[in-house]
Structure 1
Amino acid sequence: MELSVVVPTLNARRRLARVLDALEARLPAVEVVVVNGPSSDGTSGLVRDHPAVDVLLELPERNLNASRNAGLAVANGDVIALLDHGSVVRDEWYDALVAAVESGADVVTGPVHRAVSGGVTTEEREHETVAGRDVQYFDGGNVAFTREAATAIDGFDEYLETGAARDAAHRLAALDMRVEWVPAFAVLRVDGDDLPDRVAENPEGSATGLKYRALGYRLAKNYGVSITVAWRAVRHALGDAASAARAVLGGDETLSSWLARGRAVVPNIAAGVADGLRARHRDRSPARNPNGVSSRMDRAMSRYEP
């Protein structure tokens, strides 16, 4: 198995250094591609000097999915893993990946451990059935695709600023791709005192708007319009509203911020649904991705091979 590891990054020099150190120590023979957004913290210098890195791509776009797709486009491996700039691979990670791929998995994912006071907390397996599809979700910062699977879905949908991994999971399910959850395929996600990213800087209402626009988009694009799909969107909104109301009553959120978030829900779902239906019309292929790798082969970027 020839493995490439793609690491998109933006203003996360300290965390990225730990990720690259772990790759050098535990996966010295794999191809490592770092895709750097317009960072302003010295990331480029770190990457060019690091012995683990084979290719550095510099993108002018502040878009995580553009970075993921750029990395997928240049990676040479027959299996391509994606890590985020805070995901440190564990000792068993590589062996778990090899075993899963050899057993026939098209996509491999696993837990993300996060360090907390007194120990760690861990993301659990998340899967559900949607309109007859068995959808296995994955964290976009700890996943590996066979080249055939990555090509079949044409990478990630660059329309989405959030939720692109969930969108990809729906499309993989539509293609009957086998997405395997492997407990040993685990990373430790580290924090750092890096510059905040764009989503973190958004006010609460804007973050809510992005979430619900993405929800409406991926449901409409992947399933069209139906009562089942509409109910899923309503159920999400009602659940979030109830959680926020409890936070207001508990003093953890203000009434004005709750109202601002509520006002962001309906117009953004509607906009997402409209854009999703247009995307569904534009790409009627099984990939359901009019904004994927193949549509952006002309993107502007600089390539360095340290």
Structure 2
Amino acid sequence: MDLSVVVPTLNGRDALAASLDALAAHAPAAEVVVANGPSVDGTSGMARTHDAVDVLLELSERNLNAARNAGIAAATGDAVAFVGQDTCVRRAWLDAVRDALADGADAVTGPVHRNVEGGVTTEAEERCEVAGREVVFFDGGNVAFSRDALDALDGFDEYLQTGAARDAAHRLAGMGCEVAWQPDACVLREEADDIAHRLPEDSEDSAWGLKYRSLAYRLVKNYGMGARIAARVVRHALGDALSVGGDVARGDAKLSEWAAAGRAVVPNIWRGSQDGMSARVADRSDRRNPNGVSSRMDRAMARYDK
């Protein structure tokens, strides 16, 4: 199996260097494609000289999923993995990925360890049933796909600024693909500041607004407008409202912050639902991705090969 590893990055030079060092140590034969957004911190120069990097793509867009999709288009492996700029693969990661894909899985994921004060925390397997469909979720900074499965997905949905990995999990489930959970396919996330959580500096969107627009969009796009989907969105919103309300009661948050979050949620649920239905109509196939790799062949970028 020839493995390509795509690493999207944006202004993360030091964290990226550690991620590339880990790939050089634990997956030395893998093709490494770095998809760099418009970084201004010297990321480009570091990536061009790092021994692990085979291809550097320079992108004009500040969009995580545009970077992922550009990496997919450039990767040549018959399996493609994604790691974050702030995640370091561990010693057993490569064997775990290869074994799962060789056994017939369409995608494979594993835990993400995080350094915390006093030790390390980790994520457990997350799966749930949505509208009769069993979905296995994965972190976009630790997942690998067979080329056939990734081509069937047409990559990630570039409409989404957050939640695109969860959207891909829904779409894999809809196509009947198997996502394997491998405890040994683990990575260490060194920093909390991940590219997926960064907003453009001129963005008028709040984190709450983006969260609920993304949630409504991916659920409506994948399952349609229905009572069960509406109830699922409402349960999420009520749970967050109670959680933030508790923070206000304890003095950990301001009442104005709670009110602002509430004002952001409702219009973004509506907007996400409308956009999700439009996307569902635009792509009626099982892949449900009108904003994928094949729709963005006009992406402006420079490419550097070693």
**TM-score, structure 1 normalization:** 0.97
Q: Give the Cα separation in 2 of the matches to 1:206 and 1:232.
A: 21
CA distance 1:225–1:194, change in 2 (3 Å): closer
Contact kept, 8 Å, 2:12 with 2:43, in 1: the verdict is yes
Q: Specify every segment of 5 or more residues in structure 1 that has no aligned partner in the other structure, as ranges.
A: none
1:64-91, Cα deviation, whole Å (9 max, x unpaired): 0000000011100001000010110000
Q: CA deviation at 1:162?
A: 0.5
1:193 deviates by 8.7
Partner amino acid, structure 2, of 1:235: R
Partner Cα separation in structure 2 for residue 204 and residue 242 of structure 1: 25
Distance in 1 of aligned mates of 2:222 and 2:115: 35
Secondary structure, aligned partner of 1:290? coil
Match of 2:93 in 1: 93
Distance in 2 of aligned mates of 1:224 and 1:184: 36
* SS of residue matched to 2:289: coil
What is the identity, as a one-letter code, of the residue corresponding to 1:199?
L
What is the 5 A alignment of 1:111-130? 111-130=111-130
CA positional deviation for 1:118: 1.4
Shift of 1:105: 0.7
- 2:66 corresponds in structure 1 to 66
Q: How much does 1:61 deviate?
A: 0.1
Give, as a single letter, the amino acid of the residue that structure 2 aligns with 1:272: G
- Judged with a 3 Å threshold, the aligned counterparts in structure 2 of structure 1 residues 106 and 196 are, in CA distance, closer, same or farther, namely closer
Shift of 1:205: 7.2
- The whole-number CA distance in structure 2 between the counterparts of 1:78 and 1:148 is 8
Whether the 8 Å CA contact 1:204–1:261 is kept in 2: the answer is: no
User: How many Å apart are 1:199 and its aligned residue?
Assistant: 2.9
2:249 maps to 249
2:297 is aligned with what amino acid? M
CA distance in 1, matches of 2:60, 2:101: 34
Sort the Cα spacing of 1:208 and 1:194 in 2 relative to 1 into closer, same or farther, 3 A. closer
AA in 1 matched with 2:128: E
Distance, in Å, in 2 between the alignment partners of 1:195 and 1:275 is 24
Equivalent residue pairs, number: 306
> 1: distance between equivalents of 2:143 and 2:300?
26
* 2:110 is equivalent to residue 110 of structure 1: yes
Partner of 1:21: 21
Report SS of the residue matched to 2:140. coil
Alignment of 1:1-306 (within 5 A): 1-191=1-191, 198-199=198-199, 206-306=206-306
> Structure 1: how far apart are the matches of 2:92 and 2:189?
16
Q: Distance in 2 between matches of 1:303 and 1:216?
A: 36
Q: Is the 8 A contact 2:88 2:188 kept in 1?
A: yes
Secondary structure at the aligned position of 1:266 is classed as helix
After superposition, the C-alpha distances for 1:234-256 in whole angstroms (9 at most, x for unaligned) are: 00000000000000011110000
Contact 2:161/2:196 (<8 A) preserved: no
Kindly state the Cα deviation for residue 132 of structure 1 after the two structures are TM-superposed.
Answer: 0.7
Deviations 1:278-301 (A, max 9, x none): 011111111100000000122111
| 3-state secondary structure, aligned to 1:52 | coil
Unmatched segments (≥5 aa) in structure 2: none
Find the residue that maps to 1:80 and give its secondary structure.
Answer: strand
What amino acid sits opposite 2:86 in the alignment?
G
SS in 1 for 2:206: helix
CA distance in 2, matches of 1:202, 1:14: 25
In 2, distance between residues paired with 1:203 and 1:293? 24
Q: Against the structure 1 CA distance between its residues 278 and 37, is the aligned structure 2 distance closer, same or farther, given a 3 Å change threshold? A: same
Structure-2-length-normalised TM-score: 0.97
Distance between the aligned counterparts of 2:287 and 2:110, measured in 1? 24
Identity %: 63
Cα pair distance change 1:83/1:5, threshold 3 Å: same
In the TM superposition, what whole-angstrom CA distance separates every residue of 1:203-232 from its partner, at most 9, and x where no partner exists? Answer: 997100000000111111111111000000
Q: Is the 8 A contact 1:47 1:56 kept in 2?
A: yes
Which secondary structure state, in structure 2, belongs to the residue aligned with residue 297 of structure 1? coil
Does structure 2 retain, via aligned residues, the 8 Å contact 1:221–1:279? yes
